Amino acid sequence: EDQVTQSPEALRLQEGESSSLNCSYTVSGLRGLFWYRQDPGKGPEFLFTLYSAGEEKEKERLKATLTKKESFLHITAPKPEDSATYLCAVQAAGGYQKVTFGIGTKLQVIP
């Protein structure tokens, strides 16, 4: 059974205070690891796909990295508009392409 564990569950940062969110996963053959941003009452918004250990992707103040067991979402100098829940998900290779999500990290950035 594929599993995704995210930590911390909630994170409160001052504007400009950089930090990292963690995603630990177990999957029988990784096809892809995804990061999404979700605002309250909205559907998840796609951020990144990572396919293999050592891969990194960046978008504005966000940088995602991947190892064989974990992924990190680094947030550099966050702004209040970065406040959201960040979801990590994995997709296994082979068979039908179910995506398994973690419960997310709720990030609050205070001005």
Q: What tokens were used for 4?
A: 């995704």
DSSP code for 41: T
Total residues contacting another protein by CB under 8 A comes to 25
Q: For the CB of residue 71, give the shortest distance to another protein in the complex, in Å.
A: 14
Burial of 25: CB neighbours in 10 Å, binned 0-12, 13-18, 19+: buried
27 touching another protein, by CB under 8 A: no
Using CB under 8 A, pick the residue from 13, 62, 87, 109 that binds another protein.
87
Per CB under 8 A, the segment of 14-22, 66-74, 76-84, 85-93 that binds another protein is 85-93
111 touching another protein, by CB under 8 A: no
**End-to-end CA distance of the chain, in Å?**
41
The C-alpha atoms of residue 110 and residue 98 are separated, in whole angstroms, by: 36
24 touching another protein, by CB under 8 A: no
The residue behind tokens 């400009």 is: 16
Task: Report the interface residues with another protein, using CB under 8 A.
Answer: 4, 31-32, 34, 36, 41-46, 49, 87, 89, 91, 95-104
